[in-house]
Structure formats: C-alpha cells, structure tokens
Amino acid sequence: MMASAAARAATFPGGVRNAAVIVALVALIVVLALGFRRDPHDIRSAAVGKPAPAFDLAALDATGRVSLEQHRGKVVVVNFFASWCVPCREEHPALVRAWERYRTSDVVLIGVLYQDSVDDGREFVRRLGTTWPTAVDDDGRTALGFGVFGIPETFFIGPDGVIEGRHIGPIDEATLVRGIDALRRSP
C-alpha cells in the first residue's frame, strides 16, 4: 500500500494531477461553449465555394429538360422542395415575390422536386401557382451532389457557376433578395 502510494506520488505528483484535471475541464467547457454557440441551421457546406454540380433533369411539367448549363452566365437560385414538406409551402410566397421581382432580369429560379411523386409535385405547383422552371430529381442524385440535408434548401449560384450561398430551411424574401443582389453586384 505504501509502495503503491509512493509510486503514484512519484509518477503523478498532486500538482500535476490537479493541473491535468483543470486542463481537461477547461477543454471540455471550451468545446461545449463552441458547440452550443453554433446555429444548427448554419451547417457548414462543403459545396459552397465550389462549382455547382451539373444537372440535366426532366421538367416537372413534361415540357422538356431543365439544366444548369443552359443558364450559365446568370444568377441561378436552386430551391429543393417537395409537396409533403410543410415549410416548403410556407416559403412559397417568398419565392413567388422574388421571382416576380427578378424574372425579367438575369436571374433564374429553378425548383427541384425531391423525394416526391411527379403527380403530387404537379398538384403542388398548380395549386400554389409556381411559374418558374421546375425539375424532377427522381433518384436524388442532384440533391446528393449539392449536399442537401433536408428540404427546403436553397442554393445561390453565381454567373460563373460557383455556389456562393446556401440556406437551410424555409427562406424569406429578404434573404432571397440579399443573396441574389450580392451575386448580381459581384464582378
């Protein structure tokens, strides 16, 4: 007993032990403080700052294809949505107002139906009055390419095809206008 106590004392003197406990506690507090300060809606996306993944999807209204490439040189806002998604319905008026504001300019809004049936998607856009191009991501590959977590999710793509911003959750008109105007002003 005396020998083990002596060994412990020789290996980890009381001061060192106390210092180690304090350092561990401080590290824990710092980690928790940093973790709790983060906004859960502000998930860092690896896709932001990189070229947007190309897509060429069937139009929801069956009138042809909707691709990102055909809008190169414009500011493109890509909005992932589904008919079963309540927040998608909530944000829809903001998208309508933004589209009415910019539709005659160099801005394109593209809706991408995600994890939904085509029939339900068509009913959704008919009932809510969606007039911007809308495409069907039937196998989810486009959403996976963009790094979508959950819908609704909106991406802001600059004229050079690079994703410059992303919004998780229902978006409002002010956020849309701010994101679009920032890209229209950028050289």
Partner 1 sequence: MTLARSAILVALLAIAAALVLAAWPTPAGPEERVERIVADLRCPVCQGLSVADSPSESARQMRDLVAQRVAEGRTDAEIRDEFRRSYGDWVFLSPAVDGPGVLMWLAPLALLGLGAALAWSRARAPAAVAAEPEPGAVEALRGRVAREEMADL
Binding mask 102-121 for partner 1 (x = CB under 8 A): -------------x------
Answer yes or no whether residue 132 interacts with partner 1 by CB under 8 A. Answer: no
Stretch that binds partner 1, among 47-55, 105-113, 120-128, 175-183 (CB under 8 A): 47-55
Answer yes or no whether residue 41 interacts with partner 1 by CB under 8 A. Answer: no
| Among residues 47, 96, 128, 177, the one that binds partner 1 under rule CB under 8 A | 47
Min separation Cβ 40 and partner 1, Å: 12
| Among residues 140, 160, 181, 186, the one that binds partner 1 under rule CB under 8 A | 140
- With a CB cutoff of 8 Å and minimum separation 6, the contacts of 106 are 73, 74, 75, 159, 184
Site residues (CB under 8 A) for partner 1, limited to 64-93: none
Answer yes or no whether residue 149 interacts with partner 1 by CB under 8 A. Answer: yes
CA nearest to 107, candidates 5, 176, 12, 17: 176
Measured CA distances, 94 to 22, 39, 134 (Å):
51, 22, 16
| Among residues 46, 62, 129, 185, the one that binds partner 1 under rule CB under 8 A | 46
* Residue pair 33/47 in contact by the 8 Å Cβ criterion: no
> Is 117 buried (19+), middle (13-18) or exposed (0-12) by CB count in 10 A?
middle
| Among residues 90, 106, 117, 147, the one that binds partner 1 under rule CB under 8 A | 147
| Among residues 84, 101, 118, 145, the one that binds partner 1 under rule CB under 8 A | 145
Number of amino acids touching partner 1 (CB under 8 A): 29
Tokens standing for residue 185: 């002003």
* Residue pair 105/31 in contact by the 8 Å Cβ criterion: no
Min separation Cβ 94 and partner 1, Å: 23
Between CA 32 and CA 19 the distance in angstroms is 20
Closer of 99 and 156 to partner 1 (Cβ): 156
For residue 132, how many other CB atoms are within 10 A of its CB? 19
Task: Identify the bridge partners of residue 155 per DSSP, sorted by sequence position.
Answer: 78, 166
Q: For binding to partner 1 (CB under 8 A), which residues are involved? A: 1-4, 6-8, 10-12, 43-47, 50, 53, 115, 139-141, 143-150
